[in-house]
């Protein structure tokens, strides 16, 4: 089956001057970088007693490529002691091998305005990803949300207050319909859902695309 996926305009956008941009599976894709990102945690999980069947463990590993570890551990009901050991490992882990940005990253890099990475995960690990991608200088700030105690909605509100930003001039860009896209819409902020595999066909978003080629239009550029 072939999916035709077009950018959708719900209203005429004003020009955007501020961009809140997700990291994982937006600026770069986790699957082509799986070895650098996941080998260590996969090995640890294989050694731990998670209290779940092998088939569930393999499903959990796949979800970890798209979803913060804490959410996966909760969904699959990892044993608390195993979850604690994995979190301790991830909290102190850095990515030390180069990562490859997406082929569409130039659309993000060339946006005219203030750009912020807003990503969920462990600060040391997420910041090391940015360093290994070689993109730190493209952004005003990298804001890491602790997925165990907060969410991106709170992060957006914090950044809006800190930098005295106007919601009308913000565009939120990401791949997670249930996180940055959902929270952006709840705050009355326009969103661009990147969905190359059509994982969220019925998701609400101001704009949608299988790639970022229409991002400049969504930004009003």
What is the pLDDT tens value at each position of the chain, 221 positions in all?
A: 333 344 444 444 579 999 999 999 999 999 999 999 998 999 999 999 999 999 999 999 999 998 889 989 999 999 999 999 999 999 999 999 999 999 999 999 999 999 999 999 999 999 999 999 999 999 999 999 987 778 999 999 999 999 999 999 999 999 999 999 999 999 999 999 999 999 999 999 999 999 999 999 999 98
String of DSSP letters for 150-216: --HHHHHHHHHHHHT--GGGEEEEES-TTTHHHHHHHTT-EEEEE-TT-S-TT---SEEESSSTTHH
Closest CA to 40 of 96, 112, 98, 99: 96
CATH code of 18-28+99-218, in short, is 3.40.50.1000
Cα distance between residue 215 and residue 205, in whole Å: 13
Q: What is the pTM of this model?
A: 0.89
Longest alpha-carbon distance in the chain: 53
């Amino acid at each position: 089956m072939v999916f035709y996926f077009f950018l959708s305009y719900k209203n005429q956008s004003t020009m955007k001057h501020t961009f809140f941009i997700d990291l994982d599976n937006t600026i770069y894709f986790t699957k082509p970088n799986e070895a650098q990102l996941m080998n260590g945690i996969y090995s640890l999980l294989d050694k731990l007693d998670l209290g779940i069947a092998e088939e569930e463990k393999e499903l959990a590993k796949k979800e970890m490529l798209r979803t913060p570890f804490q959410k996966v551990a909760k969904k699959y009901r990892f044993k608390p002691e195993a979850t604690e050991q994995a979190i301790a490992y991830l909290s102190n882990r850095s990515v030390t091998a180069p990562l490859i940005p997406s082929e569409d990253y130039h659309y993000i890099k060339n946006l005219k305005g203030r750009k912020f990475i807003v990503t969920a995960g462990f600060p040391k690990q997420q910041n090391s990803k940015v360093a290994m991608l070689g993109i730190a200088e493209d952004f005003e700030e990298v804001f890491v949300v602790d997925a165990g105690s907060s969410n991106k909605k709170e992060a957006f509100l914090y950044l809006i207050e800190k930098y005295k930003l106007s919601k009308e001039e913000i565009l939120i860009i990401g791949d997670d319909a249930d996180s940055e896209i959902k929270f952006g819409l709840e705050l009355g902020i326009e969103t661009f859902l990147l969905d190359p595999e059509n994982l969220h066909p019925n998701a609400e978003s101001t704009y949608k695309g299988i790639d970022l080629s229409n991002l400049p239009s969504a930004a009003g550029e």
